[in-house]
């Protein structure tokens, strides 16, 4: 166990030393470039302010980015960044080179850092130490993926809950004479409080469209949420944008069908909930009911047996 702990500490120290060296080198290079490009009015910026801006979580993110890029092209990195991970990163809008590198670096860092406190706390020996080390490393490797899945699932639920309002707003804006582009721009600009997630995604899609992307390419982010309603809405908007025509009636029919599907889903969930509540009632209500109903009879029986024993 001592050998494993020493090897682990040595590996972490080497990685940390190399990461800090690279971070400092990049920081010096960025300072030189900034000093060469900065205006005379901003030349009074001190190094202390730059140091203050790069403290905290930014240094951690840089270190994770460096660690992930070091192993991203290796077989280990390709095995840890699966197509499912790319899909989940896309759902949280982090499927970029930096996002994948930070995710990979976080998995590798936790896989190396978690076993050390576990070994010091458990203090196993022999083969049990090896098993604890492997288990702790596996937990550190899998935990970021579970957190990523939970984050993506939460965003999918938010997108699904905001979808009916988005459809109603688009239909309303179409009814007052707005085009598809104007409607999407209005949703991104004016309804950020009502639809925080979808309004931000629509705003990003509008920005991509203004940069030269096609309407289908700009709205592709909405299809990454793995929501059939959003995919159908994107298809409707793309068809109307390419071929023209009125979109108000298709949106009304789509909204009605979506509400019917939600009603059926709610009925299904309520039916499952009643079955689950039956088990809860059997475990909690029936014992209390038996105590209330059978309690007086048991008490009287005990009193009668006490009297018989006294005689």
Same domain, 96 and 184: no
- Which pLDDT value is given to residue 56? 60
Record the pTM: 0.65
- Which pLDDT value is given to residue 269? 84
For the chain, the domain total comes to: 2
Same domain, 189 and 251: yes
Same domain, 106 and 12: yes
| 88 part of a folded domain | yes
Same domain, 103 and 197: no
| 131 part of a folded domain | no
Same domain, 203 and 107: no
238 is in which domain, residue-wise? 157-260
Please list the pLDDT of the chain residue by residue as tens digits (311 residues): 444 444 454 455 555 555 555 555 566 555 655 555 554 444 444 444 444 444 566 777 788 778 778 877 788 778 888 888 888 888 887 888 888 888 888 888 888 888 888 777 877 677 787 888 888 888 888 888 899 889 888 988 888 888 888 888 888 888 888 888 888 888 888 888 888 888 888 888 888 888 888 888 888 888 888 788 888 888 888 888 777 767 778 888 888 888 888 888 888 888 888 788 888 888 888 888 888 888 888 888 888 888 777 66
Same domain, 166 and 253: yes
Same domain, 161 and 107: no
| 281 part of a folded domain | no
Please identify, among 240, 260, 280, the residue that sits at the C-terminal boundary of a domain: 260
Same domain, 105 and 7: yes
Please identify, among 227, 245, 260, the residue that sits at the C-terminal boundary of a domain: 260
Please identify, among 243, 260, 277, the residue that sits at the C-terminal boundary of a domain: 260
Same domain, 9 and 74: yes
Same domain, 89 and 171: no
Same domain, 105 and 176: no
| 268 part of a folded domain | no
| 311 part of a folded domain | no
| 225 part of a folded domain | yes
| 152 part of a folded domain | no
| 294 part of a folded domain | no
SS (H, E, C) the chain: CHHHHHHHHHHHHHHHHHHHHHHHHHHHHHHHHHHHHCCHHHCCCCHHHHHHHCCCHHHHHHHHHHHHHHHCCCHHHHHHCCHHHHHHHHHCCCCCHHHHHHHHHHHHHHHHHCHHHHHHHHCCCCHHHHHHHHHHHHHHHHHHHHHHHHHHHHHHHHHHHHHHHHHHHHHHHHHCCCCHHHHHHHHHHHCCCCCHHHHHHHHHHHHHHHCCCCHHHHCHHHHCCCCHHHHHHHHHHHHHHHHCCCCHHHHHHHHHHHHHHHHHHHHHHHHHHHHHHHHHHHHHHHHHHHHHHHHHHHHHHHHHHHHHHHC
Same domain, 106 and 165: no
């Amino acid at each position: 166990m001592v050998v494993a702990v020493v090897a682990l500490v040595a590996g972490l120290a080497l990685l940390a030393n190399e990461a800090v060296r690279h971070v400092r080198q990049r920081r010096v290079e960025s300072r030189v470039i900034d000093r060469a490009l900065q205006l005379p009015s901003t030349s009074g910026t001190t190094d202390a302010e730059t140091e203050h801006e790069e403290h905290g979580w930014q240094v951690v993110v840089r270190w994770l980015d460096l660690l992930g890029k070091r192993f991203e092209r290796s077989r280990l990195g390709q095995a840890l960044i699966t197509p499912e991970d790319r899909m989940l990163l896309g759902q949280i809008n982090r499927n970029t080179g930096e996002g994948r590198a930070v995710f990979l670096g976080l998995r590798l860092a936790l896989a190396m850092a978690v076993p050390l406190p576990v070994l010091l706390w458990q203090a196993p020996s022999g083969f049990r130490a090896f098993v604890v080390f492997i288990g702790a490393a596996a937990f550190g490797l899998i935990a970021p993926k579970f957190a990523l899945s939970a984050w993506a699932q939460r965003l999918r639920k938010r997108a699904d809950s905001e979808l009916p309002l988005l459809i109603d707003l688009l239909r309303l804006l179409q009814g007052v004479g707005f085009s598809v582009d104007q409607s999407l721009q209005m949703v991104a600009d004016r309804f950020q409080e009502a639809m925080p997630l979808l309004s931000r995604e629509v705003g990003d899609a509008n920005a991509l469209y203004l940069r030269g992307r096609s309407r289908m390419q700009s709205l592709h982010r909405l299809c990454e949420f793995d929501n059939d309603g959003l995919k159908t809405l994107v298809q409707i908007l793309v068809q109307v944008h390419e071929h023209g025509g009125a979109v108000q009636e298709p949106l009304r029919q789509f909204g009605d069908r979506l509400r019917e599907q939600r009603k059926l889903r709610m009925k299904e969930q309520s039916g499952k909930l009643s079955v689950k509540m039956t088990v809860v009632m059997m475990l909690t209500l029936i014992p209390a009911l038996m105590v209330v109903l059978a309690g007086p009879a048991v008490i009287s029986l005990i009193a009668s047996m006490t009297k018989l024993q006294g005689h």
